[in-house]
Structure 1
Amino acid sequence: MSGSAAVVGGGIAGLATAALLARDGWEVTLFEARPELGGRAGSWERDGFRFDTGPSWYLMPEVFDHFFRLMGTTAETELDLVPLTPAYRVYPEPAGDAPSAPVDVVSGRDAARALFEEREPGSGPQLDAYLDSAGEAYDLAVSKFLYDTYQGTAGLRDPAVVRRLPQLAPLLARSLERHVAQRFDDPVLRQILGYPAVFLGASPATAPALYHLMSRLDLDEGVLYPQGGFTALIAAIARLAKSAGATLRTDAPVERILVTGGAARGVRLADGTVHHADIVVSTADLHRTETELLAPAERTYPDRWWEKRNPGPGALLLLLGVDGELPQLAHHTLLFAADWTENFDDIFGADTRIPDPASIYICRPSVTDPGVAPAGSENLFVLVPMPADPSLGHGGEDGDGDPAIEAAADRVIAQIADWTGTPDLADRIRVRRTISPADFESDLGAWRGGALGLAHTLRQSAVFRPRNASRRVDGLLYAGTSVLPGIGLPMCLISAELVAKRLRGDKSAARLAEPAASGA
């Protein structure tokens, strides 16, 4: 099946969808509201510093490899990927005035086992069992769940899944936090194993233990970085989409998805221009798609549905251009607050606030990629999980954001300085920009200013996550972080493939067959 397709949104999901559909023979036009492509995986430059404004972890490399092979090329051809050693560094909250000793996490089973034995003697065999289980769960997820559109139940009834139900059921019934606590005592090791829940938009207390599979990625496999930053990944996918024949339009905000006779028939832009199409694929935030781009009678997920959903965390982002070097930081650095429970209650609980002290993620790409900062300077991307609450205000440049946001940013900078032994950090900042949930809401249309997408709680994962096609409008499909299979760059690539699978009539749980290498 082929015809004309309108794709709404130029983030990675939209670009990948446009690329795959164009390669399948569809006449594709993509509409991005902003001046540049990328969506959450955006880019910002000032004074010689270039910042990725969103994703910064290259995990699940086989998903990227598969996508590029579907497009007749390879990740090695399109990207310059560098392995990171250490994978990341951890600073626990100091017990006194002096910084705690950093903990370097090096990928590979032997290195991970050595770290766990060093901090908790005798824990090596337990880690082996944990990572073996994580690997089995990961392989099962990739082969049986992530590439399933759930148009039928064949995948769920697969004998390989049924055989593993006795192991899967407890992993769904208990939390990741409990699963880890039953196996390890050292608080830092528990945090290393629990923190991946944040990548899923959840807390360790609410993410199902099944997501311990994430530890296979950083501890067993490794972490990569694409030279040029994640804007290089976006550029590569956009290049492939164009070469396949897709038209990519920026500064083209969609105002309405046009529906005639119960079927999608194109889009109307904010300037009144109408673009007719046989199908529409919206990769915009699902809440915005449903509540703003469709009429009430056309909505699969109306307002009352959203009242019971978890938007995941918001985020305070700091983009900092710093004079001088910062050897205290690795490419990826995590600061872990000691009171783990209170930290996540501040974000997800009934009485929310910006955590202080916070658990903080810092990316220092300039240690790996000198092109992102002037010589002798550092580029820092700082992410602080916070409530998804746009009322806290907007960010800005050089301290001109709303007071609550800038005050929180000042506290974060001071915390980084104290915990990492960099007392002059604030004085060395030459470029500063803050981004907050209000900015995610206004700039990206993110529901409640969520930074990632719908949280991967049990009721918002796998078969319980929004599907990739409207139940009310024929020919209207969805991709992106709000729908199957979920949050993150690899998941967005898979969501694009799920659109292609649905249009091909493929109801299997398998990945699409890759073209033969000779035909690349």
Structure 2
Amino acid sequence: MSRIAIVGGGISGLASAGLLAREGHEVTLFEQAPQVGGRASSWEHDGFRFDLGPSWYLMPEVFDHFFRLMGTSAAEQLDLVPLDPGYRVYFEGQREPLDIPHGLERNVDLFESVEKGAGSRIRRYLASSRDTYDMAKKRFLYTSFPTWAPLLRADVVRRLPTLARLLLQHLDTFVAGTVNDPRLAQVLGYPAVFLGSSPYRTPSMYHLMSTLDLDDGVLYPMGGLTRVIERIAALAVEAGVRVETSATVTRIRTSDAAPGRRPHATGLDWTDSSGATRSFAADLVVSAADLHHTETALLPRELQTYGEAYWRHRDPGPSALLMYLGVSGELPELEHHTLLFSRDWHDNFERIFGRSKSIPEPPSLYVCKPSAVDASTAPAGQTNLFVLVPLPADVSLGAGTGLAASAAPAAPGTDSRSGNSGSARLDLLADAVIAQIAEWTGVSDLSSRILFRRTRGPQDFVDDYNSWSGSMLGPAHTLRQSAMFRAGNVSKKVRGLYYVGGSVRPGIGLPMCLISAEILVKNLRGDTSTEPLPEPTAEAAPAPVRASGSGNSGSTLRASKS
């Protein structure tokens, strides 16, 4: 048994803590915010409850596998509801949207109805997507690539010509070989945004993402993604994890290097809610924090595997303007997930990822309306809207108006519905985006029905999550930042220092963060396999912690410590 310190209480930190505690280790987790969850935490105001960041529940088998490793299941812990349609898409200049239905055959019919012959082609596309997805899960996601040997399997070698083509060809080119209609092309290309990238820069290997929405279908966990975090946190505490919230880690401590040997992680320094400096001794340290912050702020330069020189040659994923809107009345024009795609998509992505960065005009954007499915997210007769507008990773765009309520009067550069000062550019963008949603979807009175709005921007991601370049996600999934080319899960300069989360392998997204926690366990076991860990048998697993109540994860953890 080892004494392990974990930096960061997002999903990867919580999942790592839970799995390590079940391995028999003594685990303490340090989270700088008052509540756990990180980017997937929540906010409540006037009877509305918002997921602050992630809102799509994809790759459900990854969540279920994690829960089974914890001795339970997704069915035990969550109430999952299929969304049908999975999402709605509005296109600039066209009044009629496309509704993406639940299930493969219905999507084949949809594609055929939009473009003659596209039905059979999308069937082949999704067959390739499924094969690539299954191969990725078996050989490329559940490994930190400590050795190439496990990858030299017959199933990989047999697919090498196809894999090479999928890695070297961009997604937009691959999509163009399947559909001609620009609307269908956008539906197939938009999953690149989930990867913090652009279809013009993402390898076509990631066409595997279309399996998740067009074949498997989209699910929603009642209570939101916050509920998922709550259950993972509760399982970690049940396994014996100790959680320190409002605990800001300031340094990873290391031993003096013996001749011919690297120094070893020995614990960390942190400040508590009163500002007092404290130290914690550990045998191992796991950082679930942003990798750039971990390396450049918590370690001295000589012990940095990924120092500033490394980041100068890397591409950040996008930042965003996030809006949280409380709206009076219902909005049937919007589905649970609604996407608005601009006509000049290439220009949109070039403004975000190109050399001369700027705010897209008009932007493509995403709107989430959970209140139609989940009454717990808004008062009766009112609507909860979360809006995400991708932006360049540029902290000079500033911060939003913040999440704290305020009765202060409005002032220049201030959101009149919140009274909180924020970036004037983001405030004007928020006004324009609300007008855009109203015009494109036909909700002409949307602005007058907004009861309150809060916003967050690139600077908020730095302030709240120590995000590199103000990115909301982490390094983009370009070729040189994917799979074995992405930053590794183990420090090369400090023994006993490990990394999990979206900055490292396997990458961005809640499922990937869960997998990174499993990779951590495999690294500690010396397991170099590429497959997921075997799930415990029902006889060997302890009784599951069943979901109950509706409190948030922070209150659950605080209760566990008292």
**What TM-score, normalized to structure 2?**
0.91
Match runs of 1:8-407 below 5 Å: 8-94=7-93, 100-261=95-256, 262-270=263-271, 271-397=276-402, 398-399=415-416, 400-407=421-428
Q: 2:503 is paired with a residue of what secondary structure?
A: coil
Q: 1:323 Cα deviation (Å)? A: 0.3
Q: 2:39 is paired with a residue of what secondary structure?
A: coil
Q: 1:320 is paired with a residue of what secondary structure?
A: strand
Q: Matched residues in 1 for 2:141 and 2:462: separation?
A: 28
Q: Which runs of 5+ in 1 are unaligned?
A: none
Give the structure 2 partner of residue 472 of structure 1. 493
**Is residue 2:513 matched to residue 1:492?**
yes
Q: Matched residues in 2 for 1:83 and 1:27: separation?
A: 38
Q: Which residue identity does 2:318 align to in structure 1?
A: P
Q: How many residues align?
A: 515
Q: Matched residues in 1 for 2:200 and 2:388: separation?
A: 20
Q: Which residue identity does 1:7 align to in structure 2?
A: I
Q: Matched residues in 2 for 1:26 and 1:81: separation?
A: 32
Which of structure 1's runs of 4+ aligned residues deviate more than 6 A?
none
Q: Which residue identity does 1:113 align to in structure 2?
A: V
Q: 1:217 Cα deviation (Å)? A: 0.5
Output one character per residue of 1:400-425: Cα deviation in whole Å (capped at 9) or x when no partner: 32100101111110000000000110
Q: Is the 8 A contact 1:154 1:508 kept in 2?
A: no
Q: Matched residues in 2 for 1:231 and 1:184: separation?
A: 37
Q: Which residue identity does 2:246 align to in structure 1?
A: D
Q: Which runs of 5+ in 2 are unaligned?
A: 257-262, 403-414, 542-562
Over the aligned positions, Cα root-mean-square deviation in angstroms equals 0.8
Q: 1:519 Cα deviation (Å)? A: 2.5
**Is residue 2:503 matched to residue 1:503?**
no
**What TM-score, normalized to structure 1?**
0.98
Q: Matched residues in 2 for 1:14 and 1:158: separation?
A: 32
Q: Which residue identity does 1:363 align to in structure 2?
A: C
Q: Which residue identity does 1:216 align to in structure 2?
A: T
Q: Which residue identity does 1:437 align to in structure 2?
A: P
Q: Matched residues in 1 for 2:474 and 2:355: separation?
A: 20
Q: Which residue identity does 1:355 align to in structure 2?
A: P
Output one character per residue of 1:359-387: Cα deviation in whole Å (capped at 9) or x when no partner: 11110000110110010000001001100
Q: 1:486 is paired with a residue of what secondary structure?
A: coil
Q: 1:383 is paired with a residue of what secondary structure?
A: strand
Q: 1:155 Cα deviation (Å)? A: 2.6
